[in-house]
Amino acid sequence: MRKSSLWAIPLGGLGEFGMNMLALRSGDDILVIDAGMMFPEAELLGVDIVIPDITYLKQNRDRVRAIVLTHGHEDHIGALPYILRDLNVPIFGTAFTLALVRKRLQEHGLLDTADLREVAAGRRTEIGCFEVEYIYVTHSTIDCVALAIRTPAGVVIHSGDYKMDPTPIDGQPFDLHTFARYGQEGVLALFSDSTNVERPGYTPSERAVWTRLEELCRAAPRKVLISCFASSIHRIQQVVDIAALVGRKIGFVGRSMVDNVEIAHGMGRLRIPDGMVIRPQDLRSFDPKKTVVLVSGSQAEPMSSLSRVAVDNHRLLSVEPEDTVILSARIIPGNEKSIFRMLDHMFRRRALVYYDNAGGLLHVSGHASQEEQKLMLNLVRPKYFVPLHGEYRQLFRHAALAHQVGAVSGEVLLLEDGQAVEFTEEGAVRRESVAAGRVCVDSGSLEEIEEVVIRDRKHLSEDGIVVPIIAIDKHTGRMESRPEMVTRGFLPSEDGTEVLDGARAVILRTIEQSNAEEKTDWGVIKEKIRVDLKRYLNKQTSKRPLILPVILEV
Ligand SMILES: [Zn+2]
Ligand SMILES: [Zn+2]
């Protein structure tokens, strides 16, 4: 590898939504940007979370200098507890981002060994042969940065997640000037957020939800429940301010909501007037006409506060007729069914429910739309452009947008996870792919779940399971009673008994036809029963249930 060349190795987030991770390598130094997770699709049965495959980083563990974080969303920090166990490198992030990281690492007992280094927008840090400048960007959470990374091959800009909010809630604007300054100096490559490339125009300012939220809080006949993402500190600030304006007090319910409010408030990033907060234990007795409650669980996560309130199973809070329930969050694709089921419960309780932008904006995105993405390209004017943070169609359309703008002097590179590219003085060259992909994790044990386990679960969900229980006399090898057949997810139809009787006959025959030696070797007899039953059941039902013979010695 030449000293003046730079490799970019996307390890996650290019081709799927979530688990963002990009590695940059020059000489013997590797810098990793973000370490995100994603929630699994329904077909990954029972998998809790999905993280990027970091085989490449493990193979080069002596070269990995640090992980630099752009902001604190799960799709950027969620994989840290799993990755740090393998690769304990320094982590750079802004104050709020690191506060969220600390909380996660503490839950996993990793905080004491972690090396966290706080940075701030406008500052620079040297990491190996790289110099990183942190550039302030606006997004749906606070303390977000883009990165300008000076490398031996030139400057690389990573946008992080951003939108260009001209009127941010905390008054701190998107740092257009620094992007422009780098554009003027000359930028080798821009890596940029593709999430909202399908939306024309500009993403509305976070402030745009104020009008409708105020209107609903003013008109509410009784208490108001508002649910948003617990990391949406700007949204939380607006709800607090609106509550104060309309003469209501505010309560916070849900662990992530309470935690994040505490963190942001402690850092002075959330202003709550004195005497404004209703204690959780007082919520039930407080005058409903003077109450606003921020509740976590906007995506109807099964154990979340809002889901439990919806079915009247929450200690602190319930929904009564004429209460107002407002969902101030995007409905993430895949969650529609559970969210609408939850809202149906609210409707049954005769709550006034608001969940979309039809009557005025209740939610705005935190990601740049097309005009902002064009402006980013025009400001940075990179030689190479790589769309990131999106499914393939979004990356493709972001590439098309870049061609249309014409601000890229070299090449637009459409990459997916694992597809390495080397930037040299002569040009950008695609290199051999590195191992990349999804790793499924069980959040309880932190253990990786093998592909074969998922295949088994899929199999179980489709064809069910059959457990024949056979009692055999240890000495005579004779069966002591009729085999029991326990089934789950298999044969619900009326001819079920007939098939199961047939299966018993198959087991009897298998045992009869086995010799004495086989009969006393449980391993052999189990396998013979499994094979014969499999053939029989497949013939009778054309299904392939998982068959797990159990032999009881009596
Ligand atoms: Zn984000
Ligand atoms: Zn993101």
Compute the distance from residue 177 Cα to the ligand 1 centre, in Å: 22
Ligand nearest to the CA of 366: 1
Residue with tokens 């400057």: 155
User: In angstroms, what is the span from residue 73 Cα to ligand 2's centroid?
Assistant: 6
- Residue 101 is predicted with a pLDDT of 98
Q: How much is the pLDDT for 470?
A: 85
What residues contact 157, with CB distance under 8 A and at least 6 apart?
146, 147, 148, 149, 179, 182, 187, 189, 190, 191, 192, 380, 382
Q: Which ligand is nearest to the CA of 142?
A: 1
Give the DSSP H or E segment for 362.
none
Question: What's the CA-to-centroid distance between 169 and ligand 1, angstroms?
Answer: 17
Q: Is the pLDDT of residue 100 over 60?
A: yes
327 φψ region: left (φ > 0), alpha (ψ -120 to 50), beta (else): beta
The whole-angstrom separation of Cα 179 and Cα 501 is 74
| pLDDT 10s digits, 78-89 | 999 999 988 999
- Separation of 14 CA from ligand 1 center, angstroms? 15
Residues 6+ apart with CB under 8 A from 111: 102, 105
The model's pLDDT over 332-349, given as tens digits with 9 standing for 90+, comes to 888 898 899 999 999 999
Distance 93 CA to ligand 2 centre (A): 15
Burial of 60 (0-12, 13-18, 19+ CB in 10 A): middle
Highest mean pLDDT among 291-300, 444-453, 508-517: 291-300
**pLDDT tens digits for range 122-154:** 999 999 999 999 999 999 999 999 999 999 999
pLDDT at 45: 56
For residue 68, pLDDT beyond 60: yes
For residue 389, the CA-to-ligand 2 centroid distance in Å is: 7
Give me the pLDDT at residue 447, please: 63
Question: Mind giving me the DSSP string for 479-497?
Answer: B-SPPEEEEESS--STTHH
Residue 472 pLDDT: 80
Strands 291-295 and 249-253 come out as parallel
500 exposure class (CB count in 10 Å sphere: 0-12, 13-18, 19+): buried
Residue ranges with CB less than 5 Å from ion ligand 2: 75, 161
pLDDT digits (tens, 9 = 90+) for 310-338: 999 999 999 999 999 999 999 988 889 88
Mean pLDDT of 288-292: 98
Q: What is the mean pLDDT of residues 112-122?
A: 97
What are the pLDDT digits (tens) for 377-430?
A: 999 999 999 999 999 999 999 999 999 999 999 999 999 999 999 999 889 999
Q: Ligand 1 mean position to 548 CA, how many Å?
A: 45
SS3 118: strand
CA of 18 to the centre of ligand 1 (A): 10
- Can you say how many angstroms the Cα of residue 272 is from the centroid of all Cα atoms in its chain? 29
- pLDDT-derived band at 540 (thresholds 50, 70, 90) equals confident
Q: What digits encode the pLDDT tens for the residues 215-225?
A: 999 999 999 99
- Whether residue 253 contacts residue 294, with contact meaning beta carbons closer than 8 Å, is answered with yes
Cα–ligand 1 centroid distance for 56 (angstroms) = 25
pLDDT band at 462 (very low <50, low <70, confident <90, very high): confident
Query: Residue 443 pLDDT more than 80?
Result: no
Q: What pLDDT is recorded for position 178?
A: 98
Looking at per-residue confidence, does 487 or 262 come out higher?
262
Q: What's the mean per-residue pLDDT of the chain? A: 92
Question: Is residue 346 within 8 Å of residue 214, measured between CB atoms?
Answer: no
Average pLDDT over residues 508-534: 82
> If you measure from the C-alpha of residue 231 to the centroid of ligand 1, how many angstroms do you get, rounded to a whole number?
10
Measured in Å, residue 254 CA sits from the centre of ligand 1 at 21
Closest ligand to C-alpha of residue 141 is 1
Mean pLDDT value across residues 264-281 = 96
pLDDT digits (tens, 9 = 90+) for 197-215: 999 999 999 999 999 999 9
Three-state DSSP at 246 gives coil
Cα(78) to ligand 2 centroid in Å equals: 11
Q: Specify the pLDDT at position 2.
A: 59
The Cβ of residue 100 has, within 10 Å, a number of other Cβ atoms equal to 27
Predicted confidence at residue 88, as pLDDT, reads: 94
Q: What percent of the chain has pLDDT over 70?
A: 94
**Contact yes or no for 119/125 (Cβ under 8 A):** yes
Ligand of minimum distance to the alpha carbon of 71: 1
Structure tokens at 121: 């927008």
Predicted confidence (pLDDT) at residue 43 exceeds the cutoff of 90: no
Q: Looking up tokens 């005769």, which residue turns up?
A: 350
More confident residue, 153 or 49: 153
